[in-house]
Amino acid sequence: MEDYIHQTIGEEVRFIAGHYQIVEEGRLTHDGREFLYWLGIATVDNACCGHTGCRFLLIPGYIHSWKTKTNAQGKPVSEVEPIVDERHRAAIRTFLEACYPYAQINFSIKSTLA
């Protein structure tokens, strides 16, 4: 299990070439297991190669406990199990592509886990 620190919806996060913000967070069930996801919008507006953007989904993992504690900054923390099985990832990716066409889909990034 990993602790996942929930991010603030709508908060702009700057990076060297632009910014992104999380616009949606939720729980979905696939094959009898509930997983956590969030949807973000990235805008590249500060790069030498021009302006662009993308929509992306991050799936931290299967939910074991939902917002049962908070971290030192007061953000809610859930316990998740990273999804490492490639067959499960492929099935979830197919499921999400139907709901969020043209979005990049990524699984568990360590920096978003506590």
Query: Tens-digit pLDDT profile for the chain (114 aa)?
Result: 899 999 999 999 998 888 999 999 999 999 999 999 999 999 988 767 767 788 999 999 999 999 999 999 999 999 999 999 999 999 999 999 999 999 999 998 654 444
Model pLDDT, residue 109: 61
Q: How far is CA 96 from the centre of its chain?
A: 12
**What gap in Å lies between CA 46 and CA 85, rounded to an integer?**
37
Model pLDDT, residue 111: 44
Q: Contact at 8 Å (CB) between 82 and 108?
A: yes
In a 13 Å sphere around the CA of 45, the CA atoms on its Cβ side amount to 6
Domain count, the chain: 1
Domain span at residue 69?
A: 2-112
